[in-house]
Structure 1
Amino acid sequence: MRIRRVGASALLVECADVEAWRAELWRRRERGELTVTEIVPGAGTVLLDGLADPTATARLLPGWAPGPATAPAPGPLVEVPAVFDGEDLGFVAGHWGVGTDAAVARLTGTELRVAFCGFAPGFAYMTGLPGDVPRLPAPRPRVPAGAVALAGEYTGIYPAASPGGWRLVGRTAVTLFDPRREPPALLAPGTRVRLVAA
């Protein structure tokens, strides 16, 4: 673990097990042991923002390190209906060494967990599928909203149309980000996600 100061009121914790750290810090905040405005997980970091005394918190963090037995509490489960007809589904199935039906069964039979959010409002990086899926050699200029896609160890769903280099395996009509909704993002870190064949 490495702790870095970020600005006047934040710390960046570089760690190997982001999900365990996120869960531990959320628990400490709920118990009143940590006063912080935001706990923001990333691929290999957790940002603590809005700390009254970052120096004091930095001294406490090594003693709060989650142990190997620390299991994150299960988050809420969100089922996302999807049609699996993405243009890269055949490639992904071949990469996995299975047929397309078996690839869809793997996609729908795996419970995913939101590790962190980024790239665009409402874009959740979900883990759970085994193995890495290579990105496209060059990104597409436009990926439609609702596209279910894979890249590296992550599964994602594009909340809005945008360029993207992930492998497209399906699509959903679910609205992932709505600024009029509270909270605006449907999927937050810790949320469990199940893709359901529509």
Structure 2
Amino acid sequence: MSKGGDGKLADAAYRTVLEKILSHELPGGSVIQERKLAEAMGVSRTPMRDALGRLEGEGLLVRLTDRLLSVRVITLQDYLHSLDVRMMIEPQAAGLAVRSLTPNDISMLRSELAALEADESPQLEGRHWRFDDLLHELLAEKSGNPFLSKLIREMRRYTKIFERQTVPPRRKPGLDDHGRILDALATGRAEKARDAMAEHIRNVRKRILDGL
């Protein structure tokens, strides 16, 4: 059964508020003003309330009182725990994805990475995150395991929020790692894909801790 109008509005509100959280437009600790958010999006408070309830259920909003929510503050401990989970499951997903990735998939990723490497614009950070999402989410999807894919998506949200809220923007982080992942995927060998992804996550952890 298709969703009604309120359901579609709630989905749209969910995506909008989620992006505001991920992009640090709504940083950790921000008190959520349901009425203002609804008015800004031009929706009623019912779909906005549904959207906020979904985000609360996913752990991105926390309840202060019966009526007040705030954006969850992702601590260093949260971040490291999320990376630990990613280390356990993302190499596995990359290895599984080798079976269903097509040459066109890899060609597309290489093209996007090359464009990112050549980009010197002020919008580079946003473009970096779009590529990062594209690569990791494609591999999660191509793993063929929807539960694995869902968990990767949730853990990456925590690490992304922490990095965008805590670490100063840097020029083109992780490009070499991503290139090695694509090279490993192109071999068609699951163990190489697993190793490249595991090395990437170890390097992410090291870069963040060295920069704190």
TM-score, length of structure 2 as denominator length? 0.27
Higher helix share: 2
Higher strand share: 1
Larger RCO of the pair (alpha carbons < 8 Å, separation 6+): 2
TM-score, length of structure 1 as denominator length? 0.28
